[in-house]
Chain A
């Protein structure tokens, strides 16, 4: 691990195959439309789980339910051994628990969602300083290292709007890394990028995978998923249609729907 200071939450689960995230029987409905129809998934420390599927398969909703950006309808979610307490209708019992769990889940969005009124450096230190109460000088030092790492060491004072999509997304990854997350959630991180900018972002994610970061990655980049994932999940209409190691899932798909899907996305 390249991290100089392990996150506090890492101490309770030292083993490499310790459970990082467990989701059981997750359901989510928007009105009468059931988007997730019982999805279960376990990621251990160091796993890179790629979640693939067609448009409307529920893959983004699944990811957003894990940190409660969407409120699940029912199911269980356990992060680092801590179960999120939910009422019968799926709403969280305790807002503070959700907020605490969220700080351990570094999320990277399709549309970057950097705070446009803050410079890159300010974006990266925002959560450590204000939410996690890290001393400012330490947060700045760490933020500079992280920006350096994603190749933006000289852009700390620049505002996001003046950068390319690829640069913004790399900054967003630095922002997510700044909280020393135990699990990183990537929600289609390259889908909003021009084709020539996809590579630079994938390179950063590939490095993170190589250093053993636990990640859930919703993606359309099949080649990339095959290369970096330790486990691939194929969602179809809110259910897991097929899952397994990438070589098997891409090399020898069993379900007809997955075969069809892989054919269409090339």
Chain B
């Protein structure tokens, strides 16, 4: 192994990427773990917002529909980098002001929680639209049948609407998940040590920019490939009971 790396002239890079200090590989992996943690949290939080948002837009009253329209429009209109700066600084500031007013003094807000909160709100706006479209694609008759047999609204959502819309929602949600993994890189701007910031620090300290950014790129690619495989399984499950579309257009 060492010999191969030596002949390829990669021995120095391998040393830099080593998991143990003085190698920086461990830092990169810690950054990746932070990124994934935030992406996971933000995606889940966004999904939750999206579910309520979509239900509100479809079935809510005028006030709720208008509020949600403002939410999705504003969030989707403003660049994410700007939103992150606004939500992060405004959010932490508001929490601190509130805690000071209640007499608790300043609170230290964890980067992970702030990241999940900020990206989750962004994700929620997109998820609202993805899920709204998916719910609208569910044949009305299936929802009507559930009502006709006396299903209460919440059970109907859980037992019929959500499972039936999953096959329409999965491709859009897979997109959102991949966007979430990469949006974590934007959190570098508020000093959160996710993969991109760790990479930049490692590169700056060692001057081996190419090595580290290539390594980070590879890590993002692995995450994407793995996610693709997972979502393919989810989609297959969500489409159970539907004939395959393959060959339908031949």
On whether the beta carbons of B241 and A118 are closer than 8 Å, the reply is yes
Min C-beta distance of A264 to chain B, whole Å: 29
| 28 A-B pairs whose Cβ atoms sit less than 8 Å apart in the complex | A67-B148, A95-B152, A99-B151, A100-B150, A102-B147, A102-B148, A105-B148, A107-B145, A107-B148, A109-B145, A112-B141, A113-B141, A114-B145, A115-B142, A116-B139, A116-B241, A117-B163, A117-B164, A117-B166, A118-B241, A119-B241, A126-B149, A130-B151, A130-B155, A130-B159, A159-B241, A161-B243, A162-B243
Min C-beta distance of A158 to chain B, whole Å: 9
Complex CA distance for A67 and B144, rounded to whole angstroms = 11
Complex CA distance for A115 and B141, rounded to whole angstroms = 9
Complex CA distance for A175 and B151, rounded to whole angstroms = 14
On whether the beta carbons of A160 and B241 are closer than 8 Å, the reply is yes
B242 at the interface (CB under 8 A from A): yes
Indicate whether A127 sits within 8 Å of B150 (C-beta atoms), given known contacts A114-B145, A117-B163: yes
Residue of B149, B160, B163, B164 ringed by the most chain A CB atoms within 10 A: B149
Residues of A contacting B160 in the complex (Cβ-Cβ under 8 angstroms)? 115
Known: A112-B141, A161-B241. 14 other contacts (CB 8 A): A96-B152, A102-B147, A105-B148, A113-B142, A115-B164, A116-B142, A116-B242, A117-B166, A118-B163, A126-B159, A130-B159, A131-B155, A159-B240, A162-B243
Indicate whether A127 sits within 8 Å of B151 (C-beta atoms), given known contacts A69-B144, A119-B241, A162-B243: yes
Residues of B contacting A115 in the complex (Cβ-Cβ under 8 angstroms)? 142, 145-146, 160, 164
> Scoring A residues 79 to 115 as 1 if CB is less than 8 Å from chain B, else 0, what string do you get?
0000000000000000110111111011101011111
Indicate whether A113 sits within 8 Å of B144 (C-beta atoms), given known contacts A100-B150, A103-B149, A131-B155: yes
Min C-beta distance of B236 to chain A, whole Å: 13
Residue of B159, B164, B241 ringed by the most chain A CB atoms within 10 A: B241
Residues of B contacting A249 in the complex (Cβ-Cβ under 8 angstroms)? none
Residues of B contacting A106 in the complex (Cβ-Cβ under 8 angstroms)? 149
A179 at the interface (CB under 8 A from B): yes
Q: How many positions in chain A have a CB within 8 Å of any CB in the partner chain?
A: 33
Complex CA distance for A175 and B145, rounded to whole angstroms = 10
Complex CA distance for A101 and B166, rounded to whole angstroms = 30
Complex CA distance for A126 and B158, rounded to whole angstroms = 12
Complex CA distance for A101 and B241, rounded to whole angstroms = 31
Can you name the residue of chain B whose Cβ is closest to the Cβ of A162? B243
Complex CA distance for A127 and B155, rounded to whole angstroms = 11
Chain A residues near B (Cβ < 8 Å) = 67, 69, 95-96, 98-103, 105-107, 109, 111-119, 126-127, 130-131, 159-162, 175, 179
Residue of B142, B144, B145, B240 ringed by the most chain A CB atoms within 10 A: B145
What bracket does the count of chain B residues touching chain A fall in?
20 to 34
Complex CA distance for A114 and B147, rounded to whole angstroms = 13
Complex CA distance for A106 and B150, rounded to whole angstroms = 10
Can you name the residue of chain B whose Cβ is closest to the Cβ of A127? B149
Can you name the residue of chain B whose Cβ is closest to the Cβ of A132? B150
Min C-beta distance of A66 to chain B, whole Å: 10
Can you name the residue of chain B whose Cβ is closest to the Cβ of A181? B149
Residues of A contacting B241 in the complex (Cβ-Cβ under 8 angstroms)? 116-119, 159-161
Complex CA distance for A67 and B151, rounded to whole angstroms = 12
Complex CA distance for A105 and B139, rounded to whole angstroms = 22
On whether the beta carbons of A69 and B164 are closer than 8 Å, the reply is no
Residues of A contacting B240 in the complex (Cβ-Cβ under 8 angstroms)? 117, 159
On whether the beta carbons of A109 and B141 are closer than 8 Å, the reply is yes
Can you name the residue of chain A whose Cβ is closest to the Cβ of B241? A159
Min C-beta distance of B238 to chain A, whole Å: 8
Min C-beta distance of B240 to chain A, whole Å: 6
Can you name the residue of chain B whose Cβ is closest to the Cβ of A119? B241
On whether the beta carbons of A102 and B164 are closer than 8 Å, the reply is no
Complex CA distance for A114 and B143, rounded to whole angstroms = 10
Residues of A contacting B149 in the complex (Cβ-Cβ under 8 angstroms)? 102-103, 106-107, 126-127, 131, 175, 179
Complex CA distance for A201 and B13, rounded to whole angstroms = 73
On whether the beta carbons of B151 and A113 are closer than 8 Å, the reply is no
Name A161's contact: one of B144, B146, B151, B242 (CB within 8 Å): B242
